[in-house]
Chains A and B, each alone.
Chain A
Amino acid sequence: MSPKDGAAEILREYDSRRAKGLFLILGGLALTLVLAVWFTALGAIDTGWSDILHTLRAAAAGQELDTGQKVILHLRLPRVTMAILAGAGLSVSGAAMQGITRNPLVSPFTIGVSNAAAFGATLSIVFGVGLFPGTQAGTVLMAFLTAFLCAALVYLVSLRVGLSPQTLVLTGIAVNYLFSAATSLIQYFADEHRLAAAVAWAFGSFNGVEWSEVSVSAVVVAASCALLYRYAPALDLLSSGDDEVARSLGADPNRVRVATGALSVLATAAIISFTGVIGFLGLAGPHIARMLLGGSHRRLLPFSAVVGALLALIADTIGRMILAPVMLPVGIVVSFLGVPIFVNLILSQRKGA
């Protein structure tokens, strides 16, 4: 093989792999949409695919809806949309956080953001602390604020020693324990009724999400993920080598770390403030995506979103159907569903290596 052929061969193979990656992402996206429609039709009130179209048409025309149509429009569609949104957003945030900390164990849950949100929600539910105490909006707002407070705390502490990945992770874990302990302390003194509400919040579920919540979350998640995507090449650099290498290639690691960290926290907070803690998605989504499609963030971020959305959607529907009429929180089901997939992939990777 002459030298020219070798280089040409690499380019051909590169293009074909890129096309395969794109196909996988688009295929996953199509599958997500098909499942979303199918799952919307599933439930205690039996509806078909055509009913969904009729419902949307009727709602757009401002007509009176029958019970089945109301269920579709106000219960199932927002729920399915939120599942896709949460799965995608948490998974993308997890991918970015793992990248900037160069640590495969990191997720929005492990570095404290989720538990901080739970602390804020518990404060609001149990003590009525914060704006609009005792209301749903008050809980969401408090969860959002404490999630950001936690992120700010982690970054400020780490900044004092130069914002190294190890410090970020260690500080995050420490803060995680702090908020977890604070939440437990409040729960310990809470009365039974409020304790139940606080614990139920922490399970993480899409029960009763409304369009108003979905739309707020959608705007924030979409905006932060779109901005995150622009950092994909920088994330490649930061995740694959030391800061010095990144610096020698013209990137500013700390700036990337602050910007992408803030965007990830924003997306995470905009989800878990409404849904409660869903831990596993942010950890496993990116890993599953990486194992299937490799570590380049230009593809990893969108594919993580697809994988996360699929996981959340399937897990939520199983949780909704399996013990119907009891609805299992997605935060519980997603781990039962995801862990076997995850472990299986880890095992097949090791064999392949």
Chain B
Amino acid sequence: MIGVLQVKNLCQRYGKTTVFSEVSFELPTGSFLALLGPNGTGKTTLLKSIGMMFFPEKGTCVLDDEDLFAMTAPQRARRMAYLPQSTHAPFPMQVIEAVLLGRFPYTAFVPKQADREKAAQVLERLGLSALAFRDLSHLSGGERQQVFLARALVQNPRLLLLDEPTSNLDLKNQLQTMQTVRSLCAEEGLTAIAAIHDLNLAAMFCDHFLILHQGRLSAFGGEEVLTPELIHEVYGVAVEKLRYGGRPFILPCI
């Protein structure tokens, strides 16, 4: 089906432990999906399985009728990009070099003029031009996150996978990152999946929600699936769901 990301029967295990099984969902392209669930529930693993960074035990993942799991790794890397949680870099690397790595699945040995132009444009677009020749290790966490987002965008992906994109960021950077991703989805039809902890941030920016609980998909859908009952069951926390200015807020009852 065109315009849909179809994940079917995705199963993953570590050794003999099943992390999750039978995860299936259909997501319209251009959506921003939040993967929710408590720590250790396998959100990140699910994200990485969809990205084939961990080879899933079984299951399929089809985007616009293209079987992502049947492709070669470079083919796949031209369709989906991954934004890591935090990357510790032991060696110096300039921002522009890091962003150019996003052209790895496309380029021959040396980045071509078109690759460099693409990198420069994306840096410009994310407002990072001034950082282009700074060393990654001299940047703040928020700036680094933006640089990795730039690298992912330089890949020209149609599917963007984000692993806890807002952890380690201050409020402004959290909002900015989520806002950028949402506008990419809305304006360019990019589909984004983010493993995320903050229910309110997710509710504010995402349009689809997948709750993973005890190795199963326990809910999938729009914002209406985030019921206080479900959140209590999954996170073990009693909450109230309020509305303010038309937006939902999840408020813990302590």
Contacts and interface: CB of A to CB of B under 8 A. Distances in A.
Q: How many A residues are at the interface, by size bracket? A: 35 or more
A279 B94 CA distance: 29
B96 interface: yes
A252 B98 CA distance: 18
A10 B109 contact: no
Contacts of B107: 233
A97 to B, nearest CB: 13
Contact of A248 (B77, B109, B132, B133): B77
A92 to B, nearest CB: 15
Contact of A10 (B52, B53, B87, B120): B120
A248 B85 CA distance: 14
Contact of B93 (A14, A240, A242, A250): A240
A342 to B, nearest CB: 15
Interface stretch (B121-129, B190-198, B203-211, B241-249): B121-129
B30 interface: no
B32 interface: no
B74 interface: yes
B102 A10 contact: no
A225 B136 CA distance: 28
A-B pairs with lowest CB-CB distance, top 10? A250-B77, A248-B82, A250-B74, A7-B120, A6-B129, A250-B105, A10-B120, A244-B53, A250-B73, A7-B124
A295 B81 contact: no
B48 interface: yes
A99 B137 CA distance: 16
A240 B89 contact: yes
Nearest to A9: B129
Contact of A104 (B81, B90, B104): B90
Interface string B145-184: 0000000000100000100000000000000000000000
A104 B123 CA distance: 29
Interface string B201-239: 000000000000000000000000000000000000000
Contacts of A241: 84, 87, 89
B19 interface: no
A252 B137 CA distance: 25
Interface in B55-113: 72-78, 80-82, 84, 87, 89-94, 96-98, 101-102, 104-105, 107, 109-110
A6 B130 CA distance: 8
18 contacts: A6-B123, A10-B132, A11-B116, A11-B120, A13-B133, A103-B90, A233-B109, A240-B87, A244-B51, A244-B53, A244-B84, A245-B82, A249-B102, A249-B105, A250-B72, A294-B94, A296-B94, A353-B137
A205 interface: no
Contacts of B77: 248-250
A230 interface: yes
Contacts of A295: 91-93, 97
B117 interface: yes
Is chain A's binding surface mostly helix, strand, loop or mixed? Answer: helix
Nearest to B91: A295
Given A241-B84, A252-B73, A8 B120 contact: yes
Nearest to B99: A10
Interface of A: 3, 6-11, 13-14, 17, 98-99, 102-104, 230, 232-233, 236-237, 239-242, 244-245, 247-252, 290-291, 294-296, 298, 353
B117 A11 contact: yes
A333 to B, nearest CB: 28
Contacts of B125: 3
Contact of A7 (B97, B109, B123): B123
Nearest to B81: A248
Contacts of A250: 72-78, 104-105
B101 to A, nearest CB: 6
A233 B115 CA distance: 14
Given A7-B129, A10-B132, A248-B80, 6 more contacts: A6-B129, A7-B117, A104-B91, A233-B104, A236-B101, A237-B104
A241 B77 CA distance: 16
Contacts of A17: 133
A241 B81 CA distance: 14
Nearest to B52: A247
A6 B128 CA distance: 9
B53 A247 contact: yes
Contact of B124 (A10, A236, A242): A10
B77 to A, nearest CB: 3
Contacts of A247: 51-53, 73
A6 B124 contact: yes
B98 A240 contact: yes
Contacts of B132: 10, 13-14
